[in-house]
Structure 1
Amino acid sequence: MVISPQLRQTCRALVQRMAVANGLPLEALAPLETALLARLRCAPARADLAQEGEAIGGVRVVLSGWASRYKLLANGRRHLLGFLLPGDICDSYLPWLAQMDHSIGTLTDVIYAELRREDAERLIAEHPAIGRALWVQTLMDIGAEREWTVSLGQRVAFQRLAHLLLNVHLRLRGAGLASGNRCDFQATQVDIGDATGLSPVHVNRTLQELRAAGLITLSHRQLEIRSVPDLRAAALLPPSYPTGAAPHL
């Protein structure tokens, strides 16, 4: 596969964020960037990259398109555990587990890097800084999941969607994929409902409320945050919540 400048930029942005988070020079994580770009894969929309219960084959990084982590209940209902956007690692802790405890599915056509388990283990053994960076990324992702648990338990629908939309925008901006306060938004209202525990009708109504409040515009899969501070306040986010590239949820 031809590696486009956009794919290189997205991969580089990920490595740069990891280097900054760990106080490392970019060169310390360069072998990870090289390894990821050497193993690019494509997947169509609404396909599984991995299913719950499967043996873990390695680490995947989304470089183009949208995916999600999800679990299915016995009655077939789906809950999205989080959106996976360009520059996101599909669970940085996977090298330490034996099998998947959730599924990973695409929402759009996706290009991703797949680092085989044996290659990940070798990189970590040869470059301890990479192992540390992956572990720190895991801790950051767990922190984001705790914040999202608060959303599901204590934020009302208006606040919950404000949090989700702001998080998506900050992450895409951190990957160099936002133009000012505008970014792509590829999730459907069904996807949003499955992530927030709301019905599609409730999601639609809440998005209309956010528009009416002058906080967002969302049309033709384009999201614009009209005021980041106001949307942040509407989401009841703490002062410690990142203002740059937020961890993913």
Structure 2
Amino acid sequence: MNKKQQVFNGIVLWLGLALLSLMLQNFYSVLQYIFFLRVPIIVGLLLLFLPTISVNSGLSAILKNLFVLRANNQLVLVIGGAVLAGLATIQVFDIILYNSHLRFDVPQQQIIPVFLQYLIAIILSLPIGIKATQLSKKEIQEADRSWEGWGIIFGIIAGALLLITNYFNKYFFEHNQFLKQALLKIIYFLPERIQRGYVDANGDLSYGIAAITVFSIFLLIVYGLGYFILKPRQKKGRFEAPALFLP
């Protein structure tokens, strides 16, 4: 490497460091929130880009078959499951975003409106639902000798029912004093430094904690039922959940 190249590389390095320093000074709070929200952000990006990565990349030989379903009822599970995953992602994002000021002493942010949460959940679920539908049409036709599209219809209905059920559950349990008091008693057993973010400055349960607790219990019930009902068995013609639904 000649001297001119070394000088050029040094200039580029210093410019990069200067740019990074400027970003840290002016966008520090933004970078903080990106760190706090890293898990829902990663999951959201995975929901959006997994179909493209699985089908149009070097990993297609391994992952593409995840989106090839062999029955309409499997399509219902995948579409409904994608909506559920999108809903869980945006609700966790919303709760962390709003409650971070309690735990990390950062500027307080506004909650995400419920309508917008559901819209984002649908958007996050669309890539998986669309790609599974596109790649499964031929397989379902060969297996069922028909393609009536009822898997898509009932999948959309299942997703809509999940959103509606979550809306009423969220409204009910956010105003359920018995549940709030029970959760507060459990939280007060934790060390004080861990309670921050779960309890607000007034000693009340923080925003969204009651609703997300019930939502988590609902997910555990779904997984529990899925284990007993859908676990593979050696039985000819038995319906099995597709691999894409299981994660």
Superposition TM-score, scaled by structure 2 size: 0.28
**TM-score normalized by structure 1?**
0.28
Higher helix content, 1 or 2: 2
Which structure has the greater CA radius of gyration?
Answer: 2
